[in-house]
Each structure stands twice: as structure tokens, then as C-alpha cells.
Amino acid sequence: MNIGILHLMHDKSATITDFTQALGPHVHLHWFTPKSHPLKHPDARIRPLSLTQALTMDAFIITGAPIDRLDFAAVHYYAEVAQLIDALAAAKLPQLNLCWGAMAALHHRYGIAKNPLPQKLFGAYAHRLDTPTPLLEGLPNGFLAPHARYVDIPLAALQSVADLTLHAATTDGHPLLVTVDHGREVYLFGHLEYRRNGLWQEHLREVGGPLPEHDTWSWQTTQDTFFQQWLKSLAAQPTAVAS
């Protein structure tokens, strides 16, 4: 199975390791960066985005990005990300959008705005299950997942769009997982790709940033469940081709 990833995270190598370990050895990952945002330090593993190549994948991931406090209009590569989102949707290619990628896609596709939080949502938090989904199969109410963002989308805004299904949120009302079209489009607001110490490493990169809450490897079961179930769903999609 071939999965394309638009890599927008700050730490290129750590993110490649995160997703490689989370998705496992039987998946071929193909890394891209926006043409409008070339890498400062070239990396042979990461190629300029090509929509033609993107549409040959069995699925596509858009990662988070350390720019969530910027307006979308101020992000110089947002238009290129929007083109990718449109192309994936038109081809009905399964997509997984994470954190900023999820908010960007929801803004572009459904006109949903993001709002600043009074302080960074940063740590591993307990979640409640709303609508059942195979992506979280077997996880109990109170399962843990990591979040790291300065902005959010209100649950009411997500629930007001008929096409969106909210599956899980923190116990104090921050969204974690939304899907469209029975899971063909997945919007994950947390960083389930993070490994042990992932939140702490983000803290060390951010000058003056807050300390993470509950920074332990407490979400490993959630990570394993989510990514295994997502890959299982891809194998059942008519576009997925095992290789």
C-alpha cells in the first residue's frame, strides 16, 4: 500500500520516524513538501508536491504545521494545500488530515473557522466517545490522546455541518476525530503519530512555550488502535491496492 504524506511539520526527521513507526513496515510512505515552500535543508526523502503523483497513491495524509495561529490567508502555501485537498476529494482518494491539516481542510471544504484558545492545548487528555467508529474500536470512554495547538474549532461548528460526523472529543469539549463519507475523509485534531516524549520534544523546540500536561507514553494504545484501524479501512476501499 502506498501512502503519500504532505510533510509540513518542523522536525522533518522525527516526523518521518513517527509516521513510519505508527503505520508499520508493510506501508510504503512517499513524502512531499509544497512547491511553494521548498525545504531550507534539502532532504532526498522529501520531494516537491506533484498532484499527478499524489493521485497515484492509495491514500494521502496532510500533517500538522507549526503555524496554527496564522490566518489561512497569511500562509503562503495554503493555496497549494487547497489544490491538493480538492484533487483528493475529486478522485475520492482516502485522506487523513491532522491538526493544522485538519483545520485547513475543514476551512477550505466547509468554510469552518478556527478560533484562538486562551492558552495552548498541550498534553495528553481524556476523551469521550460520541458517535461510534471502527477507527476507535475497543477504546473505552476516557481513552487518552495528545493535543498540541493554540487554536480550535468549536464542537458546535462541526456539528452544524450535516456531512461531518463527530466521533470523539476531550472531556472538556475539544474535538479529536471527525469523519466524512464513512471515513473516506478523516480529520484528526490530535498528534497520535507522536511517540514517547513527542510532546516534550515539541516543548523544547518552542521558545517560551508551555510545559505539556501528562507527558507520558499514555496514548500508545490509542495510537495503535487508530492507525491499525485506518489501514484496515484503506484495505477495504476500492481505491486501495496492496503492494
The 10s digit of each residue's pLDDT in 86-97 is 999 999 999 999
Question: In the predicted model, is pLDDT for residue 243 greater than 50?
Answer: no
140 with 126: CB under 8 angstroms? no
Backbone angles phi and psi of 221, in degrees to 5: -65, -40
Average pLDDT over residues 172-185: 95
Closest C-alpha among 17, 106, 97 to residue 64: 97
State the pLDDT confidence band at 241, using cuts at 50, 70 and 90: very low
Output the pLDDT for position 238. 67
What CATH number should be reported for the domain whose range is 2-236? 3.40.50.880
Task: Return the higher-pLDDT residue of 149 and 182.
Answer: 149
**pLDDT above 60: residue 188:** yes
Average pLDDT for 101-122: 97
Q: Looking at residue 140, what DSSP letter applies?
A: P
Do the annotations mark residue 40 as ligand-binding?
Answer: no
Q: What whole-number percentage of the chain has pLDDT above 90?
A: 82
pLDDT at 36 over 80: yes
Cα 120 from Cα 118, distance rounded (Å)? 7
**pLDDT > 80? residue 74:** yes
Grid cell in block for residue 181: 463519507
Angle CA(199)–CA(167)–CA(9) in degrees, nearest 5?
A: 30
> Are 7 and 32 in contact, with CB atoms under 8 Å apart?
yes
Task: Confirm whether residue 128 is marked as ligand binding.
Answer: no
Q: State the catalytic residues.
A: 99, 191, 193
